[in-house]
Amino acid sequence: MHNNQYNKKLKPLARTLRSASTKAEVRLWCELLSKSKLGYSFLRQRSVHNYIADFMCKELNLIIEVDGYTHKFKAEEDKLRDKELAAVGFTTLRFTDEEVMKDIANVQRVIEGWIASH
């Protein structure tokens, strides 16, 4: 499937973000999303539309975001981003750093539940 929403202007920033991942992003990647562990291929720090998604699965049109402390102050920006991504066909699942670090099993249940229902 071709990603018509890929923005190549964001490629250098995405590359930088991949090398500066948070501990929660690394944990989610290593334990759940890498190497098709959930049955689908996810990409890290991927340009989608005018944004860079923490994780994106083209096949499912699914974006997974891991929100750190600063996102507490960006709730309105996140809502707008999610709305714009939904308008081009993507669903966004959001988890906090704390959820990923302290309850990865529940994060896995939520993701697998979403996949099973779509």
| Cα distance between residue 113 and residue 118, in whole Å | 9
H or E element, residue 37: none
**DSSP state for residue 36 in the 8-state scheme:** G
Taking the model in full, what pTM does it have?
0.82
Can you give the C-alpha Rg of the chain in angstroms? Answer: 13
Count of helix runs (H) and strand runs (E) in the chain: 5, 4
Q: Say if CB 43 and CB 35 are below 8 A apart.
A: no
Architecture (CATH level 2) of domain 22-116: 3-Layer(aba) Sandwich (3.40)
Bridge partner residues of 56 (DSSP): 43, 63
- Spell out the per-residue pLDDT of the chain, length 118, in tens: 445 566 676 565 555 655 667 899 999 999 999 999 999 999 998 888 888 899 999 999 999 999 987 656 678 899 999 999 999 999 999 999 999 999 999 999 999 999 999 9
Strand 62-67 relative to strand 91-96, pairing? parallel
Q: Where are the domains of the chain?
A: 22-116
